Amino acid sequence: MVQTTQLTKHFTTDQGRIDVLRGIDLNIPGGDRVAIVGSSGAGKSTLMHILGGLDSPSGGVVTFEGQDVFQLKGTALDKFRNGSVGFVFQFHQLLPEFTALENVAMPALIAGEKRGPAADRADKLLTEVGLGHRFHHKPGQLSGGEQQRVAIARALIMKPKLLLADEPTGNLDSGTTEAIFELLRQLHEKHGLTMVIVTHSEKLARRMDRTLHMVDGLLVA
């Protein structure tokens, strides 16, 4: 489903060039669950952002189901990001002025879907992640674990094939972390997702099909 060939990313600063990714070759079959672990600054989040089309590489190729992602331009790239990929971030990225239901429905509304059908699907997803009683609460009225469940529901609203999660339990206590682990496992099975998760948790990594270690911008199986 996802393949990268000699993927590189570098930045230029006043101190010189910084190589964040240094030739990443990666192949992720459909339905696979991959954990990426490594120290802070190793390039994990940069890789995730490029896989999802949020950032562009300095060199190399990223393909999704055979399509070169960065040959897509404008609305085609927007459609890929909003429709084929679901993102879950460490800090939720929920819109504070909107309710849980509105946050989950937002990607569908942005894509032009009518409010009624979008709200119905958001309703079902929130119920699926255990928040059927929290539809009309805003993020500030929810716990950290509940906010992450809303973020996961939002990531699934467009029925993506690929779920990218960047430290999805990084700010949660051990009990909530365990619940999120189990939720992700259930969602993977039910929705047939391909999952790539960046995590510091060796416990979560061991539950994936594969663990890749990132060291100084390179992946080591």
Q: Which pair of tokens denotes residue 109?
A: 């509304």
Asked whether the beta carbons of 118 and 108 are under 8 A apart, the reply is yes
Range 172-187 burial, b when 16+ CB lie within 10 A, else e = beeebbebbbebbeeb
* CATH number of the domain bearing residue 121: 3.40.50.300
Query: Maximum CA pair distance of the chain?
Result: 53
Q: What pLDDT is recorded for position 121?
A: 92
Residue with tokens 């894509």: 111
Where helices occur in the chain by DSSP H, the ranges are: 44-51, 75-79, 100-110, 115-128, 144-156, 174-191, 202-206
Q: What pLDDT is recorded for position 172?
A: 67
Residue with tokens 């696979």: 32
Residue with tokens 């060291």: 215
Q: How far apart are CA 105 and CA 158, in angstroms?
A: 9
Q: Which of 207, 209, 194, 116 is nearest to 155 (CA)?
A: 194
Tens-level pLDDT at each residue, the chain (221 residues): 899 999 999 988 888 888 899 999 999 999 999 999 987 777 888 999 999 888 899 999 999 998 899 888 888 888 888 888 998 887 778 999 999 999 999 999 988 899 999 999 999 999 988 888 889 999 999 998 899 889 999 999 998 999 999 887 776 677 777 788 888 888 888 888 899 999 887 878 888 899 999 988 888 86
Q: Which of 82, 58, 218, 94 is nearest to 160 (CA)?
A: 82
Q: What pLDDT is recorded for position 59?
A: 92
Q: What pLDDT is recorded for position 73?
A: 85
Q: Domain containing 24: what range?
A: 2-220
Domains of the chain: total:
1
